[in-house]
Structure formats: structure tokens, C-alpha cells
Amino acid sequence: MDSTVALVTGAASGIGAAVARALAGRGAAVAAVDRDTAALDDAVAKMTADGLRVAAFGCDVADAAQVDAVVEEAERRLGPVDRLVNAAGVLRLGPARSLLERDWADCLAVNATGVFLMSRAVAGRMVRRGTRGAIVTVASNAAGTARMDMAAYAASKAAAAMYTKCLGLELAAHGIRCNVVAPGSTDTPMLRSMWHDDSGPSATVDGRLDAYRVGIPLRRLARPEDVADAVLFLLSDQAAHITMHTLTVDGGATLGV
């Protein structure tokens, strides 16, 4: 990917940061995007200290004006973007029957509208240039499997996944591939925010009968790098004939369904 310019959202931590580092490690110039500018600057400083070509761009992906401006600035500084990874996400928990409107709106704004706005901005430029590029949206295995207290998150990720596939259908004639990576429980700040004590990791691996949730057959949490590897595969020429596909990376947690 030496000549690639990639834009990665949610790059301040977790899966997004792992993807940004992995892409840069393969020679790509990476526009690392996040609304948490302090955490983003820290993450990018560590990458550039390792000799990687990564630049930080503050942006709220749910704001159309900010998205258009950051894509324009990234291309001005790094060159035409030909790889996009939508990894920005938020989690709001609560029973479906009593969710706060604010929590529902936050999940849809970042997890779904953010994917729409960023994909629209990048894909539009790709098509105008005649670029044969690739887009990967990091969704969740919850997009296809019901979860207790995760209705807003699951719905937003399902919306993002289907939008990405519809986009892939429309962009296929332009040689632009659009795919989805669906992680399960991954050792990130988002997952850790769901744990209340030291039993969190083991409870996640073991599953919970009272929540109708199976555990992880591979008996381990995913690392962000595990998900990044799947993203890089779908961005690469090794996946040249793959589009509108969901690659699930959950250690078997959804039993292959």
C-alpha cells in the first residue's frame, strides 16, 4: 500500500488507532480523524515517533460541514484519498423500551450518519477522479444479532452496514469496493466501559445465560490488531473481487450466523 492515502475515523484509540498504525506500517499516508483531539494528538505523536506517516485531523463525523472540510484538508496535505475506514463509534446502553432519545440520537448520529457523511464525501471525490478505491466500515456483530440493552447501538450499526453495502452496489461500476468488518467483543475502551469489576473479561468470554448471550468459543477477547488485520485485508488487492461483504471477527461468538 505504499502509494495509498487512507483516511481512518475513530483513530484516537481502539480499533481505529490500530487500523491507522497498521496502514501506516504498510507504507500508506494516513489521515487520522477523531473528535477527541487531545487523545488523537497523543496517538498520532506515538505513531510519528515510530517513523510512520500519520497526520491528525480533528472532526465530528456527524457534522456534514466538518466532514467535507476535513476530507478537503486531508487531500490537500496528503494527496487523494483512495482508502476509507469508518471506525468512529459510540456506545449508549439501555433497555429498548426506555431508551433516552438523546442516547438513541447519539448512536445514530455517529455510528450511522457519520458513516454516511464520510463515505459520501470520500466516494464522491473518488468517482470524480476515476479512482479505484476501497471503503471499509467497522460495524459490529450486534448489527445482526440481538443484544440486551444495546438496541440503539445495534440499530445504528445495522444501518451503517446496510448503507455501506448499498453504496458498494452503486460504486461497483466505478471499481470502488465497499465492505464491512463486524467485530465482536474487542479489548478497547468501549468494551471496558461495560465492565463493572474484574470479572468483566471472563464474563465476556464465558457468556451470560440471563442475557441470552453466548460466550466466545475461541476463549479470548479480540485485540484491536485482530480487527485491523481484517480491515487491511479488505482494503488490499488480495480482496480485489470482494465487495458488499461482511467479515465477522468475533471468535465465533455469533456461532457463524
What are phi and psi for residue 211, nearest 5 degrees? -110, 10
pLDDT tens, position by position, 179-225:
999 999 888 887 778 767 877 787 788 888 888 888 999 999 999 99
pLDDT tens, position by position, 133-146:
999 999 999 999 99
- Are 18 and 225 in contact by the 8 Å Cβ rule? The answer is yes
Give the CA dihedral 228, 104, 244, 218, nearest 10 degrees: 40
| Residue among 151, 139, 152 at smallest CA distance from 183 | 139
Q: Which class is 5-247 in CATH? A: alpha beta
Total Cβ atoms within 10 A of residue 79: 13
Q: Quote the cell numbers at residue 50.
A: 515510530
Q: Which residues are catalytic?
A: 153
pLDDT tens, position by position, 56-114:
999 999 999 999 999 999 999 999 999 999 999 999 999 999 999 999 999 999 999 99
Structural domain boundaries of the chain? 5-247
10 Å CB burial of residue 49 (0-12, 13-18, 19+) is exposed
Q: Quote the cell numbers at residue 68.
A: 467535507
Total Cβ atoms within 10 A of residue 243: 21
**pLDDT score recorded for residue 199:** 74
| 23/104 Cα distance (integer angstroms) | 32
pLDDT tens, position by position, 145-185:
999 999 999 999 999 999 999 999 999 999 999 999 999 98
Total Cβ atoms within 10 A of residue 229: 15
**pLDDT score recorded for residue 2:** 66
| 239/164 Cα distance (integer angstroms) | 16
Q: Reply yes or no on whether the pLDDT at 235 is more than 90.
A: yes
- Are 173 and 209 in contact by the 8 Å Cβ rule? The answer is no
- Are 35 and 16 in contact by the 8 Å Cβ rule? The answer is no
